[in-house]
Amino acid sequence: MKCGTCCVVRGHSCHVMYDEEKFNPRYTYVYDCLGAEEPFQNPNIWLCVSCHKCDEMCPYEVSPVSFIEAMKPNAFENGHAHPIVVGEVENVLSTGYAFPLTLSTTRLREMLSLKPIQTLAIEDIKRIAEQTGLALKLKKNKERES
């Protein structure tokens, strides 16, 4: 089925559809993701931010976001994660936070009289990553990048 209703109603459709160089009403984002030969290898699955607009718009209650979100763990496991996702995972494993802890953040927190951000339990996070296989999956993704 090649419907596309979830992607063509301006203002109510998937935000990715605004990239008119890649997608149009005849070749929608959802069709690109779900119609790929190996969907988990399609780098466009990482464009989905799980806004669920496609679910709200789908007249057939297919829930495209469920399929797209189900592909992401498979992609990560097989070394097809987007480099930004790989970077965030690396950051969590090294600092405990998904965002970089910069000097600018430290200065701003001081100016606002906030407590410094602490990196606690890093060794526990790394141990969990090792025991769950996350560290190995991360390594596979990094090898694919290089």
Q: Rounded CA gap, 13 and 30, in Å?
A: 11
pLDDT (0 to 100) of residue 30:
84
Task: Write the CB contacts of 48 (distance below 8 Å, at least 6 apart in sequence).
Answer: 14, 16, 33, 65, 68, 69
pLDDT (0 to 100) of residue 32:
87
Tokens 């950051």, residue located: 91
Please provide residue 37's backbone torsions phi and psi, each rounded to the nearest 5 degrees: -55, -50
36 and 93 together in one domain: no
Sequential pLDDT tens for the chain (146 residues):
567 777 777 777 778 877 778 888 778 888 888 888 888 899 999 998 898 888 888 888 888 899 999 999 999 999 999 999 999 999 999 988 888 889 998 999 999 999 988 877 899 999 999 999 999 999 999 888 77
Domain count, the chain: 2
Q: Rounded CA gap, 84 and 92, in Å?
A: 12
pLDDT (0 to 100) of residue 5:
76
18 and 33 together in one domain: yes
pLDDT (0 to 100) of residue 28:
84
120 and 72 together in one domain: no
pLDDT (0 to 100) of residue 56:
85
69 and 101 together in one domain: no
pLDDT (0 to 100) of residue 62:
84
63, 91 contact by CB (below 8 A): no
49 and 92 together in one domain: no
56 and 73 together in one domain: yes
68 and 89 together in one domain: no
51 and 107 together in one domain: no
138 and 87 together in one domain: yes
End-of-domain residue from the set 49, 77, 105: 77
pLDDT (0 to 100) of residue 131:
97
Please provide residue 10's backbone torsions phi and psi, each rounded to the nearest 5 degrees: -55, 135
pLDDT (0 to 100) of residue 2:
65
What pTM does this model have?
A: 0.75
54 and 88 together in one domain: no
Please give the residue range of the domain that contains residue 18: 5-77
Q: Rounded CA gap, 2 and 17, in Å?
A: 15
